[in-house]
Amino acid sequence: MEDIITGDLPDVPALTPEAAAAYCKDVIGAEAAKDAANEKAYGILVSYKDFKGQTDLNLQNTPFYDGPIDDMLTFVYMDNSLTLDAASGAATLMYSGVVFRRTAEQDTLYKRPFVSILGINAHPEVAEYLIQGGAVKRTFMHEMLHSVGIGTSWPSPAGCGNKELCMATVLKEAGTKVHEPIPYTPAGAPALCKADAIYREKCAASEWCTARNGDMPLLVESEIPATKEAPNFGSNCGHWPESQLPAEIISTMAEGKKLLAGPRLFLTAVTIGALEDLGFQVNYDSKEIDDFDLINSRLRELDQV
C-alpha cells in the first residue's frame, strides 16, 4: 500500500478510552458518546456488532495506542466464529471496517479513517486456501482498501460512491427482481469522479469491456440478494458490481463464481482512482497496479470452472 498511497495524512494524538469515546460522536451522537465515556464500556465496533468475533472489543479491553497515530492503526486478528459451508464451500475469508475517522479539525474535507479492524477466518480449510492458494496478499489488500475508506467512506465529499441513493434503492427493491443501476458518480455532479473517468477510458479501449458493458458508467454494487431486514450492505453499496468488473479487487465476490476456485483480485487503476476520490495522494505508476485487461483472462478461466 505504501507504493500506492504516497502522501502523508494528519497525525492523530494518542488513542485512549477517553479519547476513543469522543470519536464515537460521528457514529452514535454526542449524548450517547458522553454516556459511553462515563461508563467506558461502549463497544467501539458499533457498525460491526453483528460479527461475533468483534463483540468482545470495547473501551475496556481494546489495545489502545499511546500515539501519535501516523496514517492508520489496524487491529488484525483471527476470528474463530467464522466457518466454512461444507455443502457450497462458501466462506467469508476476511472482513474489515473503519472504527474511527479523523475529526473535521484534523482532516477538514475528508475525515479519513485512522483506526480499522481486519478479521481473518481461522477455519483450517480457509487458512490453508489463503496460504497455499496464493490469495493472502490480494485478499488482505481488498480489506485494507476498505479500511482506508473505499466502500466504507462513501460518499466522498463530491458524492462519489452515491451511497445514500444506493442504500435507499436496495431497500426499495428488496425481495423483488428489479435492480436499478446505481452510478458511482452522482447525477448532477459537475465532473466525473476520478474512478469513473478512468473506468470509462479503460473500458472504451478494451474489447471485452465494451462487449460486456457497452457505454455504461461505473456502477456501485446493488444486486446482491437482500431483504428489508437484511439488506446486505456489507456487499451492496460498497463494491464494484461483479457483473461489471468481475475479478477486480473491489468487485463484490472475492473469488468469482466459486469461492475456492483460485484468487483473482486484480488491482486496476479504477480502484486507485477511488482512493484519489477520497482525498489520498496516489501513484498511478505503482508496480502493484494490474493491467485492466487481466480481468478478461480471469473471465475465460471462470468459464471453465
Distance set, CA 261 to CA 105, 257, 265, 272 (Å):
46, 8, 12, 26
Residue pLDDT tens, the chain, 305 long: 788 999 889 888 877 666 666 666 555 444 554 554 444 333 444 433 443 344 344 444 455 667 788 888 888 888 888 777 766 667 778 888 887 888 888 899 999 998 888 888 888 888 887 887 677 888 899 999 999 999 999 999 999 999 999 999 999 998 888 888 999 999 999 999 999 999 999 999 999 999 999 999 999 999 888 888 888 887 899 999 988 998 899 987 644 344 444 455 789 999 999 999 999 999 999 999 999 998 887 666 655 54
Label residues 177-195 b or e (16+ Cβ within 10 Å = b).
eeeeebbbbbeeeeebbbb
Locate the domains of the chain by residue range: 64-302
* pLDDT at residue 34 in the model: 53
Q: Are 175 and 168 in contact (CB under 8 A)?
A: no
Instruction: Find, among 25, 232, 266, the residue nearest to 145 by Cα.
Output: 266
CB-neighbour burial class of residue 229 (10 A; exposed 0-12, middle 13-18, buried 19+): exposed
The label of the residue with cell 475528508 reads: 110
DSSP per-residue codes, 136-156: HHHHHHHHHHHHTTTTTSPSP
* pLDDT at residue 302 in the model: 58
Could you tell me how far CA 123 lies from the centroid of its own chain? 22
Q: What is the pTM of this model?
A: 0.84
* pLDDT at residue 195 in the model: 98
- The helix (run of H) or strand (run of E) holding residue 119 is strand 113-121
* pLDDT at residue 146 in the model: 93
* pLDDT at residue 256 in the model: 38
Rounded Cα distance between 293 and 291, Å, is: 5
* pLDDT at residue 47 in the model: 37
* pLDDT at residue 23 in the model: 67
